[in-house]
Amino acid sequence: MITGLSHITFIVNDLDRSTLFFNKVFGAKEIYSSGDKTYSLAKEKFFLIGGLWICAMEGTPPTERSYNHIAFQIQENEIDGYMERILDIGAEIKSERPRVEGEGRSIYFFDFDNHLFELHTGTLNERLHGYNAIAGKT
């Protein structure tokens, strides 16, 4: 039986630059670094972001960008502060997609290795409520 999410791994070109990205944007806490040793497939670092285990592993990152992404939930009043963090680190902001009223706001941005991240203020229930309102199912 699945009991939850274990971890998410990102393949990155430069572990130090990714560490800076995770720390500055998300306030990630680094909890492990393999240093020059390789216990898995490559050198790696582990972080905690909101209690979620994130792994950055050295390697060849994706060469193309897509809409595949991970979204972290934030509060509405934190949007501006996170936008400043993202811009300060030099990450590229992607245009927000059109939204249904009430589903929350988002910031989409790429790290330095073509991974797309989202910071989102809404919840699943809010999104479903918005979709149902449009479909006349409220």
**Known active-site residue 126:** no
Contact 120, 103 (CB under 8 A): no
φ, ψ at 67 (rounded to 5°): -85, -5
More confident residue, 49 or 5: 49
13/43 Cα distance (integer angstroms): 11
Element (H, E) at 70: strand 69-73
pLDDT at 2: 66
Q: Which CATH number fits domain 62-138: 3.30.230.70, 3.30.830.10, 3.30.420.40, 3.10.180.10?
A: 3.10.180.10
Average pLDDT over residues 40-59: 94
Over the stretch 7-26, which tens digit does the pLDDT of each residue have? 899 999 999 999 999 999 99
C-alpha of 54 from chain center: 10
Q: Tens digit of pLDDT for each residue in 29-49?
A: 999 999 888 888 899 999 999
- Domain limits of the chain? 1-61, 62-138
> Which residues contact residue 65 at a Cβ distance below 8 angstroms, ignoring those fewer than 6 apart?
110, 114, 116
Nearest C-alpha neighbor of 21 from the set 94, 96, 105, 116: 116
pTM of the model: 0.86
Task: In the chain, count H helices and then E strands.
Answer: 3, 8
Place domain 1-61 in its CATH homologous superfamily. 2,3-Dihydroxybiphenyl 1,2-Dioxygenase, domain 1 (3.10.180.10)
> Of these residues, 44, 58, 103, 118, which one is catalytic?
44
